[in-house]
Amino acid sequence: MSSHVYKLIEVAGTSPLGYDDAIKQAVAKAAKTVEHLDWFEVTEMRGHIKDGQVAHFQVVVKIGFRLD
């Protein structure tokens, strides 16, 4: 097994559909500008309430990418 070195970035993703979609939005956006994404970790979860209902979901994720 070879050794790797990773750098971490932290991004926030949002979605009206759910936490899963918010995570996917964050990773997809990061993938447009950063190469070699390998893993993510959800560090925060929160949401917005409107009229007594959950209206929006937000997650903060750390994304690890491999350095060449």
Distances (CA, A) of 6 to 2, 16, 39, 56: 13, 31, 10, 31
d(CA 47, CA 28): 20
What's the number of CA atoms in the CB half-sphere (13 Å) around residue 40? 21
Residue-level pLDDT, tens digit, the chain, 68 residues = 578 899 999 999 999 999 999 999 999 999 999 999 999 999 999 999 999 999 999 999 999 999 98
Quick one: DSSP state of residue 32? T
- The pTM score is 0.88
The amino acid that residue 60 corresponds to is: V
